[in-house]
Every structure is written in C-alpha cells, then in structure tokens.
Amino acid sequence: MEGDLRIHGKSATVYVVSASTFSPENSTIKVKPYTRKWEKETMSRMREVTMRSMPPAPYSFTIPPRCTVRHDVPTVVFSTGGCGTNFFHAMSDLIAPLYITAREYNGRVQLLITDYQPKWVAKFRPILAALSMYPVIDFDADTVVLCFPSARVGLESHRILGIDPALSRNGYTMMGFRDFLRSIFSLQRPWTSPISRSSGRKPRLVMVLRRHSRAITNEADVITAMVDLGFEVVAAGPKDASDMGRFAGVANSCDVMVGVHGAGLTNMVFLPHNATIVQIIPWGEMKVACRYDFGDPVPDMGLQYAEYEVTAEETTLNEKYPRDHPVFTDPQSLHRQGKLWEIFLEGQNVTLDIGRFREVMQQVYQSVTTE
C-alpha cells in the first residue's frame, strides 16, 4: 500500500487515506499478519489488524487520526505470536519471509511487530538489525499515530523453509538468504569441498541431539561409530544450540549435520554450501512429512541430503504398545485421528541399529571425502 498511511497500533488499525475526493464507499479489510494461514489454531492466537480505506476530510464520515510521528521510510507490519519460539518456525514462518519482504529496502524500513515477544526480538536482533536500521516498534503498545508513505501488512511467504525466486520481486534465493545470514554472524566458510583421506584431516560432523522426545537413547554408541568411520564429531545438545550466534559458527565449521527430525535441524541454514544434512526419520510413517520440512528445502540451499528411517525395532514405542497395535500395524490411522504429535513426535525416542546406521553414514563419508 502506498499513499497517506496512518497507523494506530493500540487499536490495531491502518488508515489508508485516499487522495481522491470521489472514492467509493469506505472499505475495511481485516488481516492477521502471520504466514501460517492454513493453521486455524495458530492463527486464532494472532491479533487482527484492520486496514480501513477512506477519502480525506471533509469527504469522509470518519475523520482519520492526525499524524503524531511522520516517517519518510516504508513500514512492514508482522506478528511474532505464532510458533516463533520454535527455531524451525522462527526461520520458516518469520525470518525467511521477512528477508523476502524487507531486504529490498536496504535497511530503510521500519519494522512494526504485533503480538510482540521480547525474547524473540532479543534472540533475532542481529538479523532484524541487518534488515532495518531503526529500532523495532512494539505495534500493540504504541499509542501514537505513525504515518508512512507505504506499508506492507504481513510477510511474503513462498514455501516451508524456502524461497521461490520466480515469486520474489527481486529474485531472492535460499542460497542468497544463507549468504545473508553468514555475513551477519561473520561465518568463515562459504563452501565445503571433499577432504582427501590421505591428508590426515577428518570431515567434521555435528550431531544435533534432542533430550525430551525423539532423543537417541544410544547416542554414545552412535558417536563412537561415527568416530570409527573417520568423522570428527561434535555433540550438540539443546543448550549448545540455544546461543544462535555461537552455534551458527559451530554449524558453519562442519561438513555434515546429523539429527532426528526436529527444530534443531533448522541450523542447516548455517552450514557451508555443499555440506550434507542427514535426517533421522522417527517411526510412524513419517517420511513424507519429514522430507517436506527438512528434505525438500535442501537443494535450494545448495546442500546435500541423506536420511535414515527408523524401523519398528528401533523405537521406544515398543515399550508402550504391543506389536499388534495400530502404532505398528497402521500408523496412518492414528495420523487421521490427530495423534501424530502425541504419539510419534512427543511420545517416542529411538535406539539406532548401529550396523544399519553405519551403512548410511559410510556412504555420507565417501561423499564428503576423496582418495
């Protein structure tokens, strides 16, 4: 939207004042500026923003509020009230779409956040500061009337953890987005190349470890097997990954990232180009969903992808359910009942078959090394 735009955050209203005196009837549009429009439960938690179009006084029955503060740069209004505390959703729902939407302004854009979460803003402040040279404004708490020459309410989003250059006005790509992140965190490795096995150097592998669900119960044995294969292994738990700037450096130093399906794998955005991501898919006919989140986005990032699918013998669901239960005989029936999260995501850990897993990782080792 362009023109005379007056924004009152406290009432969550954007007044679009038309320059025409013979404008049609006043029109009102209500939007929730978050990207996961298909998730009713998520969207129900969002604050609604009203966009009200009207002719200027004296031609309007409603007098638009007077400007308190006038800005000479555009604004982007978006919500952090969804799943933004989850790193996957933060990147997929907010940061990548914000990059698509705001990057073209080269810092000369004011960010207004509704459903403001101070911890989220603090965590992602380095990225926000790279997109806007102005302090973020808490849209909901703002009592003044802010006026802008143009505004975008909501973020442009193309797909899960991805950017479609054909849809982007500026041809942005996921590789460009990753370069952008690398510059923010001063990451040193843009690319990784196969390592000569005769050089004595080892490919570096980071194991992204979970704790309360989808944890690897025999992680020590798995790490030992990876070391025996020839990897230098870095074990990273949730606390290690909580410091985004520090862990970005760890991820960027690695050639391979391995982990069970979950938000931690989103740190692949910090891997150097041509690195490999290995997703361990939990039991429960989860392959399609897991690939959708962390497999399909990989090629556009300039990364390589491998996966290991857990069998019925490797899940701790064996300790909770008999083998003739639908958990094992018909997992899809439980998906349809809405129990995917409860049973297959939150309800299981995995004990990897070292022999089977080693076969997959042997192939990965061969792909990241040369004679």
Whether 21 has a pLDDT exceeding 60, the answer reads no
Write the pLDDT tens digit of every residue in 275-288. Answer: 999 999 999 999 99
Whether 79 has a pLDDT exceeding 60, the answer reads yes
Query: The pTM is what?
Result: 0.92
What integer pLDDT is reported at residue 84 of this predicted model? 63
Confidence band (pLDDT; 50, 70, 90) for 1? confident
Confidence band (pLDDT; 50, 70, 90) for 22? very low
What integer pLDDT is reported at residue 46 of this predicted model? 85
Whether 57 has a pLDDT exceeding 70, the answer reads no
Question: Virtual CA dihedral for 352, 249, 105, 114, nearest 10 degrees?
Answer: 60
What integer pLDDT is reported at residue 61 of this predicted model? 63
Second CATH level (architecture) for the domain 195-370: 3-Layer(aba) Sandwich (3.40)
Q: Where are the domains of the chain?
A: 2-172, 195-370
Confidence band (pLDDT; 50, 70, 90) for 162? very high
Q: Kindly state the average pLDDT of the residues 334-351.
A: 97
One-letter amino acid of 287: K
Confidence band (pLDDT; 50, 70, 90) for 60? low
Q: Kindly state the average pLDDT of the residues 61-85.
A: 86
